[in-house]
Amino acid sequence: MSVKPVSTSAPFAGPFALGTLSAPDGPAFPALVTPDGQALDLRVAFGEPHLTVRDLLDRWATALPRLRELAADTAADRTPLERLTVHAPVAPRQVFQSGANYRQHVIDLHVAHRDRSDGRSDEEARAEAAEIMDRRAAEDLPYVFIGLPSAITGPYDDVVLPDWAEQPDWELELAVVIGRPTHRVSVADALDHVAGYTIANDLTDRATVFRRDMPQIGTDWLRSKNAPGFTPLGPWIVPAESIADPGDLRVTLKLNGETMQDESTKDMIFDVARMVSYASRTARLLPGDLVLTGSPAGNGMHWGRLLRDGDVMDGAVTGLGAQRTRCVAEAS
């Protein structure tokens, strides 16, 4: 099931973006999408019937010039987006997620999750969180962990809330799409390894973030973040060359039409280059992999309002388009 996007046009920065689409009862295919809401089947354009978006990212250096040419070809046979279904734009091999990367968000979570026996005031708890963030930024240690590709769903698909999830929450994020093998890359060179950007909503069940049975082992990201469909992705991958500054984008999420998150990526503690560089210190990032950069303030724990059956989330990031997903309670 899915909800329709607000508009059948595809507003994003630059002359084109990449998506994964399908016609009714047809297979998914990679598409070049133009801002006026038209799509070009790249299987036909490249003469490869089994082509995927990840295939293009695997050879991004040579594919990008060809995509520019196709975007400029106004005579190419294109299909209106309104006739097509939009899926998650890429199937990554690996998903790297970031926690505690927005200053105000960290403060909110620190206060919300502190032990109930903590007798300090909210102001004292916030001051402690600010000191922690300053120390983390100085030490250049982003908090990165692994997500599951199986949690990814389309930008307009329904999100099933598992019956065990007591506190399902939203976390809209800027997602980085890797465009070449990346291992131990410097901060200075990290952006050269980025193919583009997309939108991710990294849903989290707050009730299972921390292990109640073994608090000494800390967080449980498998349980809290990786239910099927807990990462709506897309709709598009916008090439990095079309985004002037990923450190100056507006991240906005509305719940049933009411704005809950509205913050600039300027509030990130670690910027995109530092996130990619840090992840690559240990892991080998592959083309098509995602690096989620964390979520700004305004999650459900902050508002005292968690997700429930029937909720509709509208998420947008400057220059990347918008996604719309509806929450559906899992049948007992």
Instruction: Write out the DSSP string of 236-271.
Output: -BEEGGG-S-TTS-EEEEEETTEEEEEEEGGGBSS-
Q: What pLDDT does 151 receive?
A: 98
**Signed CA dihedral, 99, 102, 103, 104: sign only:** negative
Is the same domain home to 79 and 99? no
Domain total for the chain?
2
Is 8 part of any domain?
Answer: no
Is the same domain home to 83 and 110? no
Q: What pLDDT does 233 receive?
A: 98
Is the same domain home to 74 and 116? no
Is the same domain home to 206 and 71? no
Is the same domain home to 123 and 220? yes
Is the same domain home to 128 and 159? yes
Q: What pLDDT does 108 receive?
A: 75
Q: What pLDDT does 138 receive?
A: 80
Asked which of 87, 103, 128 is the last residue of a domain, the reply is: 87
Is the same domain home to 179 and 79? no
Is the same domain home to 283 and 149? yes
> What is the per-residue pLDDT across 274-321, written as a single tens digit (0 to 9) for each?
999 999 999 999 999 999 999 999 999 989 999 999 999 999 999 999
Is 11 part of any domain?
Answer: no
Report, as ranges of residue numbers, the positions in the chain whose pLDDT lies below 50: none
Query: For position 279, which CATH number holds?
Result: 3.90.850.10
Q: Are 325 and 3 in contact (CB under 8 A)?
A: yes
Q: What pLDDT does 177 receive?
A: 99
Is the same domain home to 78 and 121? no
Asked which of 87, 116, 131 is the last residue of a domain, the reply is: 87
Is the same domain home to 165 and 137? yes
pTM of this prediction? 0.92
Is 12 part of any domain?
Answer: no
Is the same domain home to 58 and 169? no
Q: Look up tokens 């630059």; give the residue.
A: 14
Asked which of 68, 87, 106 is the last residue of a domain, the reply is: 87
Is the same domain home to 42 and 177? no
Q: Are 232 and 154 in contact (CB under 8 A)?
A: yes
Q: Residue 39's domain spans which residues? A: 17-87
